[in-house]
Amino acid sequence: MKEYVQEMRKKLVETFGAVGRDYFEAGLALFHRYRRSDSKFGQAAIGNLSSGVEMILKSHIAWRDIATVFTDLPPQAKLMLSNPESIPRFYTWRNMNFDIGSREYRTLDFESCVECYYVLFPHLKQILMPHVNVLASLRRASLTDLIPDLTGFDIDRIGYAAITIVDSVASDESYDYVWHFLTEDDRAFLRLFEEKRGERVRMSVEQARQATHGERVERLDTVVSTGWDSYVTICPVCKSAAGIDGYTALAVGGDEDGDYPMLDFFATAFKCSNCGLVLYDTDEMKIAGLTTIIDRSDDIDRWFEDHGGYSELSGI
At 233-288, the pLDDT tens digits run: 999 999 889 999 999 999 887 777 788 889 999 999 999 999 999 999 999 999 99
Q: Would you state the pLDDT for residue 90?
A: 59
Q: C-alpha 75: how far from its chain's center?
A: 28
Q: Would you state the pLDDT for residue 87?
A: 66
Q: Mean pLDDT across the stretch 160-173?
A: 97
In this predicted structure, the answer to whether residue 16 has a pLDDT above a threshold of 60 is: yes
Please report, as a single letter, which amino acid is at residue 100. I
Distance CA(195)–CA(310), nearest Å, equals 44
Burial 251-286 (b: 16+ CB within 10 A, else e): eeeeeeeeeeeebebbbbbbebebbbbebbbbebbe
In this predicted structure, the answer to whether residue 311 has a pLDDT above a threshold of 50 is: no
Q: pLDDT of 30-88, one tens digit each?
A: 999 999 988 778 899 999 999 999 999 999 999 999 889 988 887 777 777 777 676 66
Give pairs for 216-221: CB < 8 Å, separation 24+.
Answer: 216/240, 217/274
**Helix, strand, or coil here: 91?**
coil
Average pLDDT, the chain: 87
Say whether pTM exceeds 0.95. Answer: no
Q: Mean pLDDT across the stretch 96-123?
A: 84
**Eight-state DSSP code of residue 96:** S
Distance CA(31)–CA(183), nearest Å, equals 13
Which value, to the nearest 10 degrees, does the dihedral of the CA atoms of residues 204, 208, 211, 216 take?
A: -170
- Taking each continuous run of H as one helix and of E as one strand, the counts in the chain are 9, 6
